[in-house]
Amino acid sequence: MRYISTRHGRAAATARNFDAILLAGMAPDGGLYVPQRLPRRAPAWFDALRGLPYADIAARVTEPFLGGAVPAGEWRRLIEAAYRPFTHPAVAPLRQLDSDLWLLELFHGPTLAFKDYALQLVGPLFDRVLRKHRRRITIIGATSGDTGSAAIEACRDRETIDIFMLYPAGRISEVQRRQMTTVPARNVHAVAIDGTFDDCQDLVKGMFADAVFRDELGLSAVNSINWARIMAQIVYYVAAAVALGAPDQDVAFAVPTGNFGNVFAAHVARRMGLPIARLAIATNRNDILTRFFARGTMSLGTVEPTISPSMDIQVSSNFERLFFELVGHSGPKTAAAFRQFRATGILPITRRQWQAARALFQAERIDDEETRAIMADTYRRTGMLVDPHTAVALAAARRVKRDQTTPMIVVATAHPAKFPDAVVSACGVRPKMPPRLANLMALPERRVNLPNDLGAVQNYVRAHARLGVAA
C-alpha cells in the first residue's frame, strides 16, 4: 500500500511507503498522509473474525496497511507482545449498561487511556523500522495530559529512540505528571516548562522549524496525526462490532472527540465495510466540530478549560483527512482550504460538502454540568464510575436517534482514576487506583525545569539525546 498527502500536488509523484510515512508523521507539504486506496472487506471477511483473540483481529485488520514493511510472522508476534501487558484478557472488553447500550473499555493499557492501544503498538513498530534502516531518532512532543505518558511508556528503554516530553509546569494533574516523571528509563526525559501548553507546543514547533537542529537530532513525532496510530485504532471498532453481531448486525458508536483521530478511525472501519449505522461525535464546551455539523461553518474559537481536559482543543487536526474525502480527494483543494483556515480562522466549505459530512456523522456538545449529571446518574443506576470524557459520549449517545435494534457502543477513553477530582465532584466517591498505578505517589520523580526559551530547551536536548553533540 502507498500513501499520499492530503495536500499533494500530483498524487502519483508523492506516493510513499509505510516506513516513510511512519517515521515522517506529517507530510513535507504540511498535509496528512492517507492510504491511496482503502482496502474494502466483504461480510464473510468480518464473519471470520468472530471469536478471535484481539491480537489476531489486529493482525488481520492492519496487515494491508503495512504493505510488507514487517514480515507477517514477525508482525503477529509484535502485536501479541504489545497487548500482552494489558490487564484485561479481552484487551478492549465490552460492558453492558442497558439492553441496547454498551461501553467499549479502552483503559486497560499501562497509562489507563485509549492512547495506549495505538502507542503500545506504534512504539515497537518505530523501533523495528529504525533498526531495519539502522537509524536512531529523537522524539519531541508537547503534552497537556494523556499523550505524554502513553508515548513515554511506548518508547521507554528503546535503543533507537530518545524521547523528550514538554509539559506546562504546575498545569497538569499530579497523576498525569507522575506517570511521566517516575519512569526509570535513561532515554526518557520529562521537561517542565515555565509556561502554558501553547508555549510547550510553540517550543516543539520551533525545534522542528530549525532545520539544522532537526537533522542533527533526527527529530520525529508520535502525535495523533501519524497514520500508524489511526491504523491501530481501527482494530477495536472492528473487534467490538463483530462481538455484537456484525456484519449481520448494524452497530452505532459514540466517541469522545478532540483531535478527531479516534472517531476518524471508526469512519475508516466503516469505509472498509464495517456496518456502522451511526457515528456520533461527542464534544465538550470546546465545540468547533459540533458547531460545524450544526451550521456548516468551521470557525476557530478560544480553548476553554473543562473537566474533560483531553478534549480541550480547537483545531481538530485529523479533520483534514475527512475534508480531503469531501473534496473528492483533491490535494490542491485541501491545501488551499487549510491555508485559508490558518490565515483567517474560517474553513471554506460548500453546502454540498457540509451535507455530505452530516450524512456521515452526528455531533453533540455536552457541557460540564450535563457531564457531571450523567456521571452521577450512571453511578446511581449501575454502581459504575465513568471518567468525564466517557461521560460526554454517554450523554451524546442518549441524543442519537436510532433504531432500538441497533446496539449503541459508547467509547470509554479513560479510566476514572485518571480524573479523580471530577469523579469526586460528580459522584461523591473517589475512584480506586488500579493496582499497576497503586504506588505511583510513592515513586521517586525525575524531571527538569526549564524556562520558556527555545535556546535553553535546544541546549538541553542536545546535551541529553544520544544523537546530540555531547553523546
Ligand X SMILES: *Cc1c(COP(=O)(O)O)cnc(C)c1O
Choice among 115, 132, 333, 418 that is catalytic = 115
Query: With b meaning 16 or more CB within 10 Å and e meaning fewer, what string describes 119-130?
Result: bbbbbbbbbbbb
Residue 419 phi/psi, 5-degree rounding, is -130, 60
Query: Taking a C-beta distance cutoff of 8 angstroms, is the pair 83, 120 a contact?
Result: yes
Strands across the sheet containing 448-450: 219-220, 137-142, 161-168, 188-193, 448-450
Residues 53-112 that bind ligand X (CB under 6 A): none
Whichever of 301 and 332 has its CB closer to ligand X, that residue is 301
Q: Nearest residue by C-beta to ligand X?
A: 259
Query: Out of 123, 168, 247, 258, which residue is the one contacting ligand X (CB under 6 A)?
Result: 258
Select from 119, 279, 414, 450 the one that contacts ligand X (CB under 6 A).
414
Of residues 262 and 334, the one with the C-beta less far from ligand X: 262
Rounded distance between C-alpha atoms, residue 407 and residue 244, angstroms = 8
From the list 311, 337, 349, 363, which residue makes contact with ligand X (rule: CB under 6 A)?
Answer: 311
Cβ 231 to ligand X shortest distance, Å = 13
Pick 278 or 418: Cβ nearer ligand X? 418
Catalytic-residue membership of 115: yes
Burial (CB count within 10 angstroms: exposed 0-12, middle 13-18, buried 19+), residue 201: middle
Strand pairing class (251-256; 219-220): unpaired
Taking CB under 6 A as the criterion, the residue among 177, 178, 389, 464 binding ligand X is 389
> The C-alpha cell of 279 is what?
457515528
User: Which member of 124, 168, 256, 420 binds ligand X (CB under 6 A)?
Assistant: 256
| Nearest CB to ligand X, comparing residues 127 and 146 | 146
Residue 364, interface with ligand X (CB under 6 A)?
no
Smallest separation, CB 326 to ligand X (Å): 18
Of 120, 259, 406, 458, the residue at the interface with ligand X (CB under 6 A) is 259
Q: Which is nearer to ligand X, 25 or 218 (CB)?
A: 25
CB of 298 to ligand X, least distance (A): 16
Residue 122 binds to ligand X (criterion: CB under 6 A): no
Separation of alpha carbons 47 and 245, rounded Å? 9
Residue 113 beta carbon to ligand X: minimum distance, rounded to whole angstroms: 4
- Which CB sits closer to ligand X, 46 or 253? 253
Interacting residues with ligand X between 135 and 154 (CB under 6 A): 146
Specify the residue, 187 or 224, whose C-beta has the smaller distance to ligand X: 224
Shortest distance, CB of residue 342 to ligand X, whole angstroms? 19
Among 20-28, 208-216, 235-243, 257-265, which window interacts with ligand X (CB under 6 A)?
257-265
> Could you say which of 144, 182, 220, 310 contacts ligand X (CB under 6 A)?
310
Give the one residue of 6, 143, 226, 262 binding ligand X; rule: CB under 6 A.
262
281 neighbors 290 (Cβ within 8 angstroms) = yes
Residue from 148, 261, 420, 468 in contact with ligand X (CB under 6 A):
261
Binding residue for ligand X, selected from 79, 113, 232, 272, defined by CB under 6 A: 113
As measured in angstroms, the least distance from the Cβ of 457 to ligand X is 24
Say whether residue 413 binds ligand X (CB under 6 A). yes
Region 213-252 residues binding ligand X, contact defined as CB under 6 A: 224
Between 334 and 413, name the residue whose CB sits nearer to ligand X.
413
Instruction: Give the separation between CA 366 and CA 396, rounded to whole angstroms.
Output: 7
Neighbours of 422 (CB within 10 A): 24
CB of 441 to ligand X, least distance (A): 21
User: How many binding residues for ligand X (CB under 6 A)?
Assistant: 16
Among 115, 158, 270, 365, binds ligand X (CB under 6 A): 115
Q: Which is nearer to ligand X, 75 or 86 (CB)?
A: 86
Minimum distance of ligand X from residue 151's CB (angstroms): 12
What is the set of active-site residues? Answer: 115
- Enumerate binding residues for ligand X (CB under 6 A): 113, 115, 146, 224, 256-262, 310-311, 389, 413-414
